[in-house]
Amino acid sequence: MSGIWPIFKKDFVSLFRSWTGVFATSAFLLIAGIFFTFFLLAYSQLSMEAARQAYEGIQGLNLTRFVMGAFILNLGVLFLFIAPLLSMRCITEEKKTGTLELLYTYPLSDLEIVLGKYLSLLAQLALLFLPTLTYLGVLRVLGIKVDLGVVGAGVIGFFLLGATFLALGMFYSSLTENQIASAGLSFLTLMGLWILEWVAGFLPRPWSRWLNLASPFFNFRDFPLGVIDLSSLTYFLCAIALFFFLTLRAVETRNWRG
């Protein structure tokens, strides 16, 4: 398993020498900043109104859920657009340039190659997301108390959602030599999964339930509210394992396809 580390490092460095990596990170952080500002302003407006009118609903207005919860929930949707940009190079680029041929002849197992690459994607996810936690500091400066447990659950949920998107993206990147195709396929699939939840709203009971269960966004929804549901946790872990396994199989097809 010692081959994971060099692959991990090399992929991580490469991403930040490509325009996609830099673009994806900047775009994500910029839009995240806009979201945060927006939710914070909305919250202050609402709480001011509530104070003026002695509005009863203020009891239920929880800052952590209103600001951080909505913030993390929306980051999940934002990441739908960013994930394909991060994962599209993963295996595609190495297939196209032929460097994968070298990797296969080094003393590495397929598992080490795929695991190294996947872990590097996860590290990119962390690098993308962690700076947004400085907003907790902003809230603190403003003198607002935050329930860290709830935020923690949201962070876990976001990572699981992101890791699922990236595993799916990595799988598509192992199928083609064309980055645009790889990004396009994962984007379309993720969009489809997003729409699942809407479609579920129009359908009668048993169907809507099944569709919701299959939707990553439905499964993500409770995390930012501070609820870690075992079935949602299982959903994400299974999805990650599935796409990881499919990627491994796709990499093995060289044995009979050449």
Partner 1 sequence: MISVQDITKQFGPLKVLHGLSFDIARGEVLGLLGPNGAGKTTMIRILAGFFPPTEGRVTIDDVDFAKEPKKLKKRIGYMPERVSLYSDLKVEEFLHFVSEIKQIPRKMRKEEIQEKIERCGLETVRGRLIGHLSKGYRQRVGLAQALIGDPDILILDEPTSGLDPKQIIDIRELIRELGRERTLILSTHILPEASHLCERVLILNQGRIIAKGDPQDLEKKLRNQQEIVVRVGLRSVVDEDEEVRRLEEVLQSIPGVESLVKTTERDSTVTFLLYTVLHDDLRSEISRQIVGAGFPLLEISTKRLSLEDIFLKIVVSEKKGTESFV
- Interface residues with partner 1 (CB under 8 A) are 2-3, 5-7, 9-10, 13-14, 17-18, 97-99, 101-102, 104-109, 254-258
Smallest distance from partner 1 to CB 104, Å: 5
* Distance, CA of 17 to CA of 115 (rounded, Å): 21
Tokens describing residue 132: 């947004």
Smallest distance from partner 1 to CB 105, Å: 4
* Distance, CA of 82 to CA of 166 (rounded, Å): 10
> Residue with structure tokens 């699942």?
196
Rounded alpha-carbon distances, angstroms, from residue 49 to 21, 26, 35: 42, 35, 21
Considering the complex, state which of residue 14 and residue 189 has its C-beta at the smaller distance from partner 1. Answer: 14
Considering the complex, state which of residue 53 and residue 99 has its C-beta at the smaller distance from partner 1. Answer: 99
Smallest distance from partner 1 to CB 112, Å: 9
Considering the complex, state which of residue 11 and residue 197 has its C-beta at the smaller distance from partner 1. Answer: 11
Smallest distance from partner 1 to CB 98, Å: 3
* Distance, CA of 88 to CA of 96 (rounded, Å): 12
Considering the complex, state which of residue 69 and residue 116 has its C-beta at the smaller distance from partner 1. Answer: 116
* Distance, CA of 189 to CA of 18 (rounded, Å): 24
Smallest distance from partner 1 to CB 94, Å: 8
Q: Are 43 and 139 in contact (CB under 8 A)?
A: no
Considering the complex, state which of residue 231 and residue 255 has its C-beta at the smaller distance from partner 1. Answer: 255
* Distance, CA of 16 to CA of 18 (rounded, Å): 5
Among 161, 5, 17, 178, smallest CA distance to 83 is for 161
Considering the complex, state which of residue 26 and residue 109 has its C-beta at the smaller distance from partner 1. Answer: 109
Rounded alpha-carbon distances, angstroms, from residue 9 to 5, 151, 195, 203: 6, 30, 36, 47
Q: Find the radius of gyration of the CA atoms of the chain.
A: 20
Three-state DSSP state, 1: coil
Smallest distance from partner 1 to CB 187, Å: 24
